[in-house]
Amino acid sequence: MTRKSRATPAGTMAPKARKPAGGPGQALDDRLASGEAVVAVIGLGYVGLPLACEFARSGLRVLGIDVDASKVADITAGRSHVQDVADSDLRPLIEGGRLRAGTDVSVLAEADAVVICVPTPLRKTRDPDISYIVAAVDAIAGHLHRGMLIVLESTTYPGTTEEVVLPRLEATGLRVGRDFFLAFSPERVDPGNARFKTRNTPKIVGGVTPRCIRAAKALYARAVDQIVPVSSTRAAEMVKLLENTFRSVNIGLVNEVALMCDRLGLNVWEVIDAAGTKPFGFMPFYPGPGLGGHCIPIDPHYLSWKLRTLNYQARFIELASEINGSMPQYVVGKVVDALNDQRKSVRGARVLILGVAYKRDVGDVRESPALDVIKLLADRGAEVRYNDPYAASIAVDGGTIYRSVPLDRKALLASDLVLIITDHSAYDYRFIVKHSRSVLDTRNATRGLRGEGRERIRRL
């Protein structure tokens, strides 16, 4: 059920603090339009920090709140921990007083709008962990005031905004659509994407009431070029899950096609490239060592969990997850084959992994398949080292720390196998292949290489 019936016509309430003719909603619109509004962003990670910067650049005063004091200290010193935000972009916003970071939630009392960008991981049982959302909302409830707009951006299951966030805010006695405004607007950030950033990526917005959507549109109009309203918060929540499920399922499909091509003795990359010449009705996805990052491996499970509560099994999601989750094991099988060709066992073999980030040209190793591959190889007794220009050290299986080694001729020659897990553009693949004894390329990064060493390359 939507709450449209609660929409309050402009002018039906008498706010205590500010008294413009149109009520608290109008006051908020006016303050956003004039640039007087103060926006708080809760959670200054990959999503929250770029958004906070975009609001600050638009002329609003931004209060960034994070529970991690070291992140706050770095941001305050003008040092960005997010690759997509350059220090040179952050520093002027801090020095000019447009963006202030802190751990104290009491600043929410001065905020006209609050955007929640906290993590939404899975529990060990693969059920949603919305405890970060709940903590953020409880902090807001303590400072909720008339005319305030609250927007949830964290990816979550359909219903979270109205079933979890709304009751906590209304427990204060204030009413949505009349006293405060509540919306869901999924983040679509694509880390490392040089073309599409916060400003030029269209923003989906769903409000609890029409007045809520109007307030959220007024907020995002400051920072985003195109806003796409949808009819409800649930629809907005579902849009994000469709987008990420679409990727997960298509990657799962193409990973299975890779497994099938292997059995058929076919080169899956050739097949995809040829299919990709079809100018309609086909969109190429590429196989790889498995899914990673904070979104694609996790978000679809938010949807399947919700559907389970409604006695429905989300079959595509489960199957894609099973296939994608099996890819690290498949890669290890290929490592065994490649070493076998050299009459070597995995135990004692020196394997150099290139790239541990979950995708090209980023340093994020969350859920990266490289971590699984390293663990599987180490468990079998391989001597594993890695290089990644973006990740100086990693913790595998919650404990063992590995540090990136220099990528030079000596390191390549000293390895029985070089395993390309992440196809960073900074790598000189010609050099790598030339000086390696054997290369297993899980990303087709060495495509197009001619000359010395080509015969030493195996592909997924």
Ligand X SMILES: NC(=O)c1ccc[n+]([C@@H]2O[C@H](COP(=O)([O-])OP(=O)(O)OC[C@H]3O[C@@H](n4cnc5c(N)ncnc54)[C@H](O)[C@@H]3O)[C@@H](O)[C@H]2O)c1
What amino acid positions are annotated as catalytic residues?
A: 295
Q: Of the listed pieces 87-95, 184-192, 215-223, 429-437, which binds ligand X according to CB under 6 A? A: 184-192
Question: Does 155 participate in binding ligand X (rule CB under 6 A)?
Answer: yes
Give residues 81-110 in contact with ligand X (rule: CB under 6 A).
none
71 belongs to the binding site for ligand X (CB under 6 A): yes
Which listed range, 44-52, 196-204, 387-395, 428-436, lies at the site for ligand X (CB under 6 A)?
A: 44-52
Question: What are the DSSP calls for 169-229, one per residue?
Answer: HHTTT--BTTTBEEEE------TT-SS--TTTS-EEEEESSHHHHHHHHHHHTTT-S-EEE
Q: With binding defined as CB under 6 A, does residue 39 bind ligand X? A: no
The site for ligand X, by CB under 6 A, has a size of: 26
């899980």: which residue's tokens?
Answer: 442
Structure tokens at 83: 């690759």
Interface positions, 115-144, toward ligand X (CB under 6 A): 117-120, 132, 135-136
237 near ligand X (CB under 6 A): no
State the minimum distance, in angstroms, from the CB of residue 156 to ligand X.
Answer: 7
**Contact pattern from residue 388 through residue 427 relative to ligand X, giving x for each residue in contact according to CB under 6 A and a dash for the rest:** ----------------------------------------
Max intra-chain CA distance, the chain? 83
> Is residue 42 a contact residue for ligand X (CB under 6 A)?
yes
Q: Does 361 bind ligand X (CB under 6 A)?
A: no
What DSSP state is assigned to residue 69? H
Dist CA 20 CA 125 (whole Å): 50
Does residue 168 contact residue 238 with C-beta atoms inside 8 Å?
Answer: no
Type of residue found at 417 = L
Told to check if 367 binds ligand X by CB under 6 A, we report no
Q: Smallest distance from the beta carbon of 18 to ligand X, in angstroms?
A: 27
Measured from each CB, the residue nearest to ligand X is 45
If one counts every other C-beta atom within 10 angstroms of the C-beta of residue 122, the result is 16
User: 275-283: which pairs have CB atoms within 8 A and are 24 or more residues apart?
Assistant: 283/250
161 binds ligand X (CB under 6 A): no
> For residues 32 and 222, what is the distance between their CA atoms, to the nearest angstrom?
8
Give the binding range for ligand X (CB under 6 A) out of 28-36, 60-68, 332-340, 445-453.
Answer: 60-68
**Residues 420, 436: Cα–Cα separation, whole Å:** 12
User: Among 13, 67, 259, 411, which residue interacts with ligand X (rule: CB under 6 A)?
Assistant: 67
Q: Is 297 in the site for ligand X (CB under 6 A)?
A: no
Q: How far is the CB of 364 from ligand X (least distance, A)?
A: 7
Q: How far apart are CA 274 and CA 31, in angstroms?
A: 54
Closest residue by Cα to residue 297 from 318, 312, 311, 283: 318
Residue 320, interface with ligand X (CB under 6 A)?
A: no
Note the residues at the interface with ligand X (CB under 6 A). 42-48, 65-68, 71, 117-120, 132, 135-136, 154-155, 187, 189, 191, 294-295
